[in-house]
Amino acid sequence: MISTVLVANRGEIACRIFRTCRESGIRTVAVHSDADENALHARVADAAVRLPGTASADTYLRGDLIVKAATAAGADAVHPGYGFLSENADFARAVVDAGLTWIGPPPEAIEAMASKTRAKELMGVAPLDHVTEADLPVLVKAAAGGGGRGMRVVRRLADLEAELTAARAEAASAFGDGEVFVEPYVVDGRHVEVQVLADTHGTVWALGTRDCSLQRRHQKVIEEAPAPGLTASLTQDLYEQAVRAARAVDYVGAGTVEFLVADGRARFLEMNTRLQVEHPVTEAVHGVDLVALQLRIAEGHALATDPPRARGHAVEARLYAEDPAAGWAPQTGRLHRLTVPDGIRLDTGYTDGDDIGVHYDPMLAKAVAHAPTRAEAVRRLAGALERAAIHGPVTNRDLLVRSLRHEEFTSARMDTGFYDRHLPELTAPAPDPLAPLAAALADACAAPRSRFGGWRNLPSQPQVKRYAMAGEEHEVRYHHTRTGLAADGVRVVHADAARVVLETGGVQHRFEVSRYGDQVHVNATALIALPRFPDLTTPHAPGSLLAPMPGTVVRVAEGLADGAAVEAGQPLLWLEAMKMQHVIAAPANGTLAELPVTEGQQVEMGALLAVVQEADL
């Protein structure tokens, strides 16, 4: 019997595993980097062990330190979660060699499936050895790892070498392994996967399908179970291939076999020898706790002969601290509040007041809705996200709501190219036009009042406040009267520091208002309170390239120096933030007038990275 589990991970998945351990009466141990010293997963565990440093390579990817931490804390089992070392066979062996229980598949099974190239060979699918024009478009993928890192779509043969180089660098940084491979890229395919579960007694479950077609940068955004619209014969084929993959490597524990479904057939992609981010939708539909089953299997218990039947439909949305309209740029800062309506499962590694840093993935939480039908589950999740209180950095919440309500998704006709086709319409600003007035009235109620009151015996000039909303400045005016606050064209039904009710056209609109410094949230609309007097700070010179987020300059283009000629779109440097590399390119043909940064330098958001002086036309 397992008594104490160390989770070799962080954030949401560590918190989720701890929850099941507590329910099972098992003690928990967390590991944390210096950046995560006050992170939620480190706070909720029964014990925590520091891994000195901030970079993943120095902390969460150091298997030797994690095994020492488990021994020091008295753990007798290790759960890897997902990502980091979860699919590292050497780490699994080190855990077992230390006399600890490994809550995962045998190291040999991990090894067989860890490399996507070897896994494809095992399943009889060969990657492309030589790419020609006829093969385009193709997809460059990291052989070890996932999450969209080390992955590039190549549509021109001339771009292949550069993209291979970039993918190798990103894969090496994220996984410690720079091996990549090339496969055909199917534009309109669906990403469908099968959850498998296997015990040590020869039983293998195919525990339903999931559809994960809505992806950004090849990383999943919305997932659901079961995958909609599959024929019975195609579903059976998926199950048979998934079970065959598991049996081929004598698999034990929870795993996922992923496929690309197009033209009525399923093409094997890879097997993830770990728990998936999207496992909650399978849990909801089948009424199981996959982590609890992992623990039982690790203790030697047998699965039932047949898996539990599916009931209803579940949909999961990944809430990211990112700006989809700005190239999915990760966002950082204080998360002041995160709540969703009752009836929605929220898996998160954050709580109110936590800081979102630059070192790790920008996923804040996963919201999951379960209902008797797909339509009901989708509607429930969209409504809950719309009403959620998410106060802090910019998130993808609006994108999620619009995606769930898009006709292509509601009719289950989506594919992996969904965001390529619809991103502009899904990210078009649509703020509430009454939000600035509600913010101003709430602020007026919160401000200290004179003991003589706020009204005058004679008419006076209106109060004026300015807000930035959806990239535009909005000026609002209101009056103090004997009966309270008033605004032209709108009846103020109620106003206090946290709640405002306005009536227009005979309809009352209710607003919840929260303020954190100059950041104001009015229902789902975010605003910035602007100063009374404009900021006269001198702007940067024309052609200045500023850091879109905090990060590290991991690479500067070879041969670049002040005075060098550059072309529009030419990569100048690479900025790494939240485990992704972002290319900073020349905005126009011209001359590199300034390059004040060097490789390895950490920069804050808005820092000057380069100045390109545009060539005279």
Q: Catalytic site residues?
A: 274
Under a CB-based contact definition with an 8 Å cutoff, are residues 485 and 478 in contact? Answer: yes
CA distances from 545 to 220, 256, 564 (A): 30, 42, 16
Residue type, 453: G
Looking up tokens 């060539």 gives 615
Task: Label the pairing between strands 565-566 and 590-594.
Answer: antiparallel
**486 Cβ contact partners less than 8 Å away, ≥ 6 residues apart:** 478, 479, 492
Q: Distance between CA 324 and CA 118 in Å, rounded? A: 34
Identify whether the C-beta of residue 313 lies closer than 8 Å to the C-beta of residue 226.
yes
- With a CB cutoff of 8 Å and minimum separation 6, the contacts of 329 are 322, 323, 548, 549, 582
Q: Could you give the 3-state DSSP secondary structure of residue 358?
A: coil
Query: Across the chain, how many H-helices and E-strands are there?
Result: 15, 38
Question: Please, are residues 72 and 83 in contact by the beta-carbon 8 Å criterion?
Answer: no
Helix (H, G, I), strand (E, B) or coil at 77: strand
Q: Which residues contact 389 (CB under 8 A, 6 or more apart)?
A: 337, 338, 339, 512, 514, 521
- Collapsing DSSP to helix, strand or coil, 470 comes out as coil
* 3-state SS assignment for residue 335: strand
